[in-house]
Amino acid sequence: MNLRIFRYTALILITAAVALISSCEKNPFNKDEYRKVIILYMAANNNLSSYAQQNISTLKGGFIPEKNSRDILIVYAHLAGSNPKLTRLYKGSDGIVIEDPVAAYEDQNSANGDVLKAVLNKVKTIFPAREYGLILWSHATGWLPQGYYNSTFQGTYFEDPYAGIVKSFGEDRGVEMEIKELKSALPYHFSFIIFDCCFMGGIESIYELKDKASYIVASPTEILANGFPYRDIMNPLFQTKSNLEEACRLFYEYYNSLSGVHQSATIALYKTDQLKQLSNVTKSIFNSHRDKIATLNMSNIQPYFRLNKRWFWDLGNLIEAIATPSEYQNFNTALNNVVVAKWNTEYFIDIKIEKFSGVSTYIQNPSNSFLDTFYKGFDWNFDAEMIK
């Protein structure tokens, strides 16, 4: 063989081999190796810890992907008195649920945005997938500033399961994660985010997070401490197209089947790519009827709060009170494109639910200049201009 040809042929083979090795080293995972990863992030190093343990227990009694499935269920649990741990749950061939450790952590504050981001990035690195869903579990008070909601209330969930020291998302030894911090902590896009925590079904919160998830599930009121019925909801969530409407319905039916104050639930499913159009319609109404907001008879607006925490009102009812009939019709069309499903019991504890658009809002209150000023910083107010 001609030596030059031999060397050329050898060079091609060597180059191809090196390229193959380099390719393998750069991408050891097929990005589509897993179909769907659902992450349950439980910031429960607080007085809800026993409820978190109960939810994990009931979770194991429902649908869990098998070991060799292309679907993955991950639980980050930070319980009181324990260090956080990241665990994959799967069913063995005998049907027994296995808790497979993914990562063990030293003590860290799970209501810190950097901690949440690191956990989510670790999951994506270990379990690359086409689709991610996220369930956020803890205390919450929607868009409110850290510590604002309940600095004086003395009760706890142990004393009163229907009224706790709830916070802007997450609570861990007095640290809370405000919505803008939560937004920054979400490092990639989710097909859905489910909030198993209070007051996250507010227009301010879902609008701030609209580019982080295709769908959001949340409650405009509080959520009772038992949270979602995890034994039931994982099956619809792991369907080829996550059946979020079914998960919401199961949540509602679980609480609606109970009695007394336990029969308390509001839940809604929001389609985030329709939120910008809703803000456009709402902005026009606010700018045309700004004077009416200041003179509203608040007793005629549907509340979603208790304990005189007057920061959560029904958005649809507010617009109905200030808009013309044609404006309200246009608003309702836009709202129904966002709130694609909703359920509510007749009462939430002691709140009569007579109007339920599925989403809450703050209403400008000139006597609270601190909160009005804080509110101006949210994307919703930039685009809808309730407060100028």
Predicted confidence at residue 170, as pLDDT, reads 79
Alpha-carbon span 22 to 342, nearest angstrom? 51
Distance of CA 116 to the CA centre of its chain: 13
Among 33, 383, 39, smallest CA distance to 188 is for 39
- Among candidates 84, 78, 85, 74, which has minimal Cα distance to 39? 74
Residues 235, 62 contacting (CB under 8 angstroms): yes
Domain residue ranges of the chain, discontinuous segments joined by +: 34-274, 275-338+358-384
Q: What is the mean pLDDT of each run of 10 residues along the chain (388 residues)?
A: 40 41 38 87 93 96 95 97 97 94 94 96 97 95 70 35 49 84 96 96 96 97 95 97 98 97 97 98 96 91 88 95 97 98 97 97 85 90 94
The pLDDT of residue 150: 59
Q: Is the dihedral of CA 109, 110, 115, 119 positive or negative?
A: positive
Q: What is the DSSP letter of 298?
A: G
Cβ neighbours of 291 (radius 10 Å): 8
Neighbouring residues of 137: CB distance < 8 A, sequence distance ≥ 6: 40, 41, 42, 43, 44, 52, 55, 196, 197, 227
pLDDT at 374 (0 to 100)? 87
Confirm or reject CATH 3.40.50.1110 for domain 34-274, answering yes or no: no
- Pick the closest to residue 39 from 7, 83, 72, 10 (CA basis): 72
Cβ atoms 331, 281 nearer than 8 A: yes
Amino acid 144: pLDDT: 76
Q: What kind and span of H or E run contains 104?
A: strand 97-104
Q: Quick one: how far is CA 130 from the chain centroid?
A: 19
Supply the pLDDT for residue 265.
97
Q: If we measure between CA atoms, which residue out of 203, 190, 98, 174 comes closest to residue 136?
A: 190
d(Cα 2, Cα 11) in Å, to the nearest integer? Answer: 14
